[in-house]
Amino acid sequence: MGQRRDAVRNRELLVAAGQEVFAERGVDATLEEVARRARVGIGTLYRHFPTREALVEVIYEEHIAEVLAAAERAAVADDAWEGLVEFFERALELQARNAPLREVFFRHSVGGGRTDYRRKRIRPLLERLLARARAQGALRADFTIGDLLFAMWSFMPLFEATAGVAPNAWRRHLRILLDGMRAEAATPQRARPLGGRRLETVIVALRGRYQRRRAA
């Protein structure tokens, strides 16, 4: 029993250390540095994570699990607008924390298994949340899941530009964005919202553009 507790503790330490080291030093940080930060031997690291990709996969899996938990809490909030605000705040906190790891995630093409399953569960929860917020009269009637996804993507350049200067600047941007999402702030739109295959095409293009820019 004691050995099992030690193994669980070491794994948690390694995941936390990996998150810190990759965020500080990028994708080329050594696993030896991760082991030193976790205060365990390199052999212990390899027993838990035989490859760099295995460690990155777990870090990303935990990130997606936390985003899913935020979506689940938001989806059952009595006040759908408050649930939406809380989701934005929590999801963006996670994005800001893990922004330096984005390159690591893209470099190693993480995903699959439980991670993909959890990621696929997020969007239906958010679609229901938006529908409830519209029905309650708090969210503008033309706001769609595509608008929400684009809003989330729009914060990434801000995280990168302000990380070392004003790491909480995104919170001001969020409040301005939320004000524009309110029903009473809505103005007529000429452009149609994206959905279905068009939305998926745009999301894939955004991911690909970001990958190419980071690799350059």
184 residue type, one letter: E
Q: What is the mean pLDDT of the chain?
A: 86
pLDDT at 44: 96
pLDDT band at 39 (very low <50, low <70, confident <90, very high): very high
The residue ranking higher by pLDDT, 92 or 105, is 92
- The single residue listed with the structure tokens 């909480």 is 168
Predicted confidence (pLDDT) at residue 38 exceeds the cutoff of 80: yes
Q: Which domains, from first to last, does the chain contain? A: 1-50 (1.10.10.60), 53-215 (1.10.357)
Predicted confidence (pLDDT) at residue 114 exceeds the cutoff of 80: no
What pLDDT, in 10s, does the model give residues 160-200? 888 778 888 999 999 999 999 999 988 888 788 777 887 78
- Cα-atom radius of gyration of the chain, to the nearest Å? 19
Mean pLDDT for the stretch of residues 53-65: 87
Q: Using CA atoms, how far apart are residues 20 and 14, in angstroms rounded to an integer?
A: 10
Please, are residues 138 and 80 in contact by the beta-carbon 8 Å criterion?
yes
What pLDDT, in 10s, does the model give residues 119-131? 889 999 999 999 9
With a CB cutoff of 8 Å and minimum separation 6, the contacts of 44 are: 10, 14, 35
pLDDT at 158: 85
The 10 Å Cβ neighbour count of residue 10 is 19
pLDDT at 157: 85
Mean pLDDT for the stretch of residues 83-112: 78
Predicted confidence (pLDDT) at residue 10 exceeds the cutoff of 90: yes
Predicted confidence (pLDDT) at residue 109 exceeds the cutoff of 60: no
- The single residue listed with the structure tokens 């929400």 is 148
- Reported as half-sphere exposure (CB side, CA atoms, 13 A), residue 179 has a value of 6
With a CB cutoff of 8 Å and minimum separation 6, the contacts of 126 are: 71, 74, 75, 87, 145, 148
The whole-model pTM stands at: 0.79
Q: Using CA atoms, how far apart are residues 164 and 24, in angstroms rounded to an integer?
A: 12
